[in-house]
């Protein structure tokens, strides 16, 4: 029987990202996807610099960038149009090597991820294949799926299975986890339009209309795409509000029918849920299967891509026999609190939009708006996991090397020591670990300064394992770089 290192269930953005990263590390990967094509309707419209950095590792950042729109920030207004809060977002290239925020069209990204997969022969993509059974046998997982192209049930096996199978996850049922409910469940009408010609008065900002009767959000998408998300009242029928006449009535404060085409109008129930368990034995969850958020922070897909970036290198090391299986325990302990915090912030924000929040309340809900508008990221740190000290589990920036290249382009999938040149003098590194000093990369000095450390050890996902201010501390930190040397296989195509 065929035998895979990892079976990824679901080929949405989380599954595609994970399959790319595992594939780049040389693992034998199976992707099972029920549908024949990517979900064609727009969902996510925003991603952040951390996600762009992961797309850089995959090799699609330069392709998606021209298809994005920049985002000056978010404004909150009341029913009379008075500005309650202006939340500008940083402009220009930030410390991660990319802009803080991008507006995009999710089908564009999914197409690029799928096209790029052709370069990874060790990743086997099987669409129209519906998984219906997994059995953790201790040494491996047995899978059974229906290949709907030929109506045949197929048995296969993998060392690990990751359920990137969305909100109605089958793998979540096999894990038998409960979901923590953060209390937000609302129907919102999502209307995507394509303008017939530019309409500058709509503006570049995202706007939250804090109007108690009908809270709404406006988002400027790339090109001529514009989105409105509007609450559906409890007594309104979900079907009736999606009828074109009703949709145009709701859009009338901003748009006339002759100004745009309706791409779609659909009612979604936005939830705020986090799975209590993200792993059981050889089964894992990632993406919407283990967390669902209201879209006010634009972070649902971003969280799934962060899950993939956290999990891939741990699975790669374990599958390659370079790390103990216990490393995999850190996936849930690190990722769950981070995803939880984003959702809690989105719920707070949603509550305020609904209740016509005051400027003070809005500022309290949005710590990053509180005089820290130039912060690169509102990202909470990882939960407890591998690494030690107060400076473990923080996302490190991406310095530019002296020749202009970004650090991750040189040292993809590897542990990296970034150190002050004096501190690094005479240092012997474990095999496979890269060294970036402030001498070879002057730009690194500012990144170290920002963290308040003379040296850091970075994991392959570019979170810090910890920091050091002396050679002794650095040696002790390097000793934590897992017992086996880290030298993940980088295929030639990179
Ligand atoms: C209106 C709206 C706006 C949003 N805005 C944003 C935003 O601005 N920014 C952001 O980051 N996120 C946003 N999101 C959230 C984002 O779209 C989702 O979080 C993201 O698409 C989830 O990706 P995923 O890969 O985890 O799951 P999905 O995209 O749902 O993919 C799961 C896949 O698994 C497949 N599958 C399921 N079960 C099986 C099975 N048994 N066998 C085989 N295949 C199976 C499904 O067919 C599907 O293709 C928004 C969502 C909505 C609805």
Q: What is the pLDDT of residues 212-235, one digit of tens each?
A: 888 999 999 999 999 999 999 999
Residue nearest to ligand 1 atom 53, measured at CA: 43
The answer to whether 392 and 381 have CB atoms below 8 angstroms apart is: no
Provide the pLDDT for residue 195: 98
Q: What is the mean pLDDT of the chain?
A: 90
More confident residue, 368 or 192: 192
> What is d(CA 171, CA 390) in angstroms, rounded to the nearest whole number?
34
- Measured CA to CA, the distance from residue 290 to residue 220 in angstroms comes to 29
Confidence at residue 488, expressed as pLDDT on a 0 to 100 scale: 45
Nearest CA to ligand 1 atom 13: 44
To which residue do tokens 């209590």 refer? Answer: 276
- Ligand 1, atom 52, residue with closest C-alpha: 43
Query: For residue 13, how far is its CA from the centre of ligand 1 (angstroms)?
Result: 7
pLDDT at 84 over 90: no
CA of 304 to the centre of ligand 1 (A): 9
Q: Point out the least confidently predicted range of 27-36, 69-78, 146-155, 227-236.
A: 69-78
Write the CATH number of the domain with boundaries 3-67+106-179+274-376: 3.50.50.60
pLDDT in tens, 286-304: 999 999 999 888 899 999 9
For 386-494, the fitting CATH number among 3.40.50.410, 3.40.440.10, 3.40.50.300, 3.40.30.120 is 3.40.30.120
Nearest residue to 182 via CA among 289, 301, 295, 341: 341
Q: SS3 letters for the chain?
A: CCEEEEEEECCCHHHHHHHHHHHHCCCCEEEEECCCCCCCCCCCCEEEHHHHHHHHHHCCHHHHHHHCECCCEEEEEECCCCEEEEEECCCCCCCCCCCCEEECCHHHHHHHHHHHHHHCCCEEEEECEEEEEEEECCCCEEEEEEECCCCEEEEEEEEEEEECCCCCCHHHHHHCCCEEECCCCEEEEEEEEEECCCCHHHCCCEEEEECCCCCEEEEECCCCEEEEEEECCCCCCCCHHHCHHHHHHHHCCCCCHHHEEEEEEEEEEECCEEECCCEECCEEECHHHCEECCHHHCCHHHHHHHHHHHHHHHHHHHHCCCCCHHHHHHHHHHHHHHHHHHHHHHHHHHHHHHCCCCHHHHHHHCHHHCCCCCCCCCCCCCCCCCCCCCCCCCECCCCECCCCCEHHHHCCCCCEEEECHHHHCCCCCCCCCEEEECCCCCCHHHHHHHHCCCEEEECCCCEEEEEECCHHHHHHHHCCCCCCCCCCCCCCCC
pLDDT of 210 over the 50 cut: yes
Q: Which atom of ligand 1 is nearest to the CA of 299?
A: 11
Ligand 1 nearest-atom number relative to CA 270: 53
* Comparison of pLDDT for 42 and 436, the residue scoring more: 436
What pLDDT is stored for residue 42 in this prediction?
73
Q: Can you give the pLDDT at residue 381?
A: 85
Residue 377 pLDDT > 60: no
> Stretch 475-490: mean pLDDT, rounded?
64
If you average pLDDT over residues 264-274, what whole number do you get?
93
Q: What percent of the chain is predicted at pLDDT more than 90?
A: 76
CA distance 178 to 233: 29
Share of the chain above pLDDT 70, in %: 93
Mean pLDDT of 75-99: 89
140-187 pLDDT, tens digit each: 999 999 999 999 999 999 999 999 999 999 999 999 999 999 998 889
Say if residue 376's pLDDT is above 50: no
pLDDT reported for residue 493: 39
Separation of CA 171 and ligand 1 centre (Å): 15
Q: Are 350 and 268 in contact (CB under 8 A)?
A: no
Whole-number Å distance, alpha carbon 140 to ligand 1 midpoint, is: 27
Structure confidence at residue 374 (pLDDT): 34
Higher pLDDT: 247 or 374? It is: 247
pTM above 0.85, yes or no: yes
Cβ atoms < 10 Å from Cβ of 410? 14
Q: Give buried/exposed letters for 441-475 (b at 16+ CB in 10 A, else e).
A: bebbbebbeebebbbbbbbbbbbbbbbbeebebbe
Tokens at residue 166, please?
A: 């969305």
Domains 3-67+106-179+274-376 and 386-494 share a fold: no
Read off the pLDDT band of 489 (50, 70, 90): very low
Pocket of ligand 1 (CB under 6 A): 9-15, 32-35, 39, 43-47, 130-131, 164-166, 170, 190, 268, 287-288, 295, 298-302, 304
Residue 373 pLDDT grade (very low, low, confident, very high; cuts 50, 70, 90): very low
Task: Decide: 191 and 251 in contact? Cβ < 8 Å.
Answer: yes
Cα of 339 vs centre of ligand 1, distance in Å, is 15
Rounded to an integer, the average pLDDT of 59-87 is 91
Name the pLDDT band for 362 (thresholds 50, 70, 90): low
**Ligand 1 atom having least distance to the Cα of 10:** 34
pLDDT confidence of residue 430? 82
pLDDT value for 361 = 65
Place 65 in a pLDDT band, splitting at 50, 70 and 90.
Answer: very high
pLDDT at 130: 98
What are the residue ranges spanned by the domains of the chain?
3-67+106-179+274-376, 386-494
Q: What is the pLDDT of residue 91?
A: 87
């Amino acid at each position: 029987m065929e035998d895979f290192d990892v079976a990824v269930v679901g080929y949405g953005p989380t599954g595609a990202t994970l399959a790319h990263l595992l594939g780049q590390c040389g693992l034998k990967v199976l992707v099972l996807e029920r549908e024949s094509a990517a979900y064609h309707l727009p969902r996510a419209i925003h991603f952040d610099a951390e996600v762009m950095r992961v797309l850089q590792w995959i090799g699609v950042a330069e392709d998606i960038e021209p298809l994005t729109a920049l985002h000056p920030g978010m404004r909150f207004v009341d029913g009379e149009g008075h500005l309650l809060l202006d939340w500008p977002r940083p402009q220009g290239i930030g410390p991660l090597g990319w802009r803080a925020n991008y507006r995009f069209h999710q089908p564009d990204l999914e197409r690029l991820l799928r096209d790029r997969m052709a370069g990874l022969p060790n990743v086997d993509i099987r669409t129209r294949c519906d998984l219906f059974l997994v059995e953790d046998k201790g040494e491996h997982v047995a899978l059974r799926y229906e290949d709907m192209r030929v109506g045949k049930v197929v048995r296969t096996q993998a060392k690990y299975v990751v359920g990137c199978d969305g909100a109605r996850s089958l793998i979540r049922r096999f894990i038998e986890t409960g979901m923590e409910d953060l209390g937000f469940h609302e129907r919102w009408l999502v209307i995507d339009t394509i303008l017939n010609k530019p309409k500058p008065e709509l503006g570049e900002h995202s706007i939250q209309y804090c109007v108690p009767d009908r809270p709404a959000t406006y988002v400027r998408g790339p090109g001529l795409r514009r989105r409105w998300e509007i609450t559906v009242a409890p007594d309104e029928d979900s079907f009736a509000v999606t009828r074109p006449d009703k949709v145009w009535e709701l859009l009338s404060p901003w748009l006339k029918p002759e100004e745009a085409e309706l791409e779609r109008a659909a009612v979604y129930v936005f939830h705020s849920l986090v799975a209590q368990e993200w792993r059981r034995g050889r089964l894992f969850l990632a993406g919407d299967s283990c967390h669902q958020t209201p879209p006010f922070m634009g972070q649902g897909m971003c969280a799934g891509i962060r899950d993939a970036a956290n999990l891939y290198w741990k699975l790669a090391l374990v599958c390659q026999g370079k790390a103990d299986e216990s490393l995999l325990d850190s996936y849930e302990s690190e990722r769950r609190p981070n995803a939880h915090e984003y959702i809690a912030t989105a719920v707070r924000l949603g509550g305020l939009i609904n209740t016509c929040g005051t400027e003070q309340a809005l500022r309290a809900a949005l710590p990053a708006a509180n005089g820290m508008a130039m912060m690169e990221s509102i990202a909470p740190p990882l939960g407890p996991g591998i690494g030690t000290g107060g400076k473990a589990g923080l996302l490190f920036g991406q310095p530019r090397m002296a020749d202009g290249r970004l650090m991750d382009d040189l040292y993809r999938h590897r542990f990296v020591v970034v150190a002050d040149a004096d501190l690094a003098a005479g240092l012997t590194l474990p095999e496979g670990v890269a060294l970036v000093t402030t001498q070879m990369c002057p730009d690194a000095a500012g990144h170290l300064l920002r963290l308040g450390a003379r040296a850091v050890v970075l994991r392959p996902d570019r979170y810090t394992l910890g920091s050091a201010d002396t050679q002794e501390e650095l040696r002790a930190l390097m000793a934590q770089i897992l017992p086996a040397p880290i030298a993940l296989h980088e295929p030639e195509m990179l």
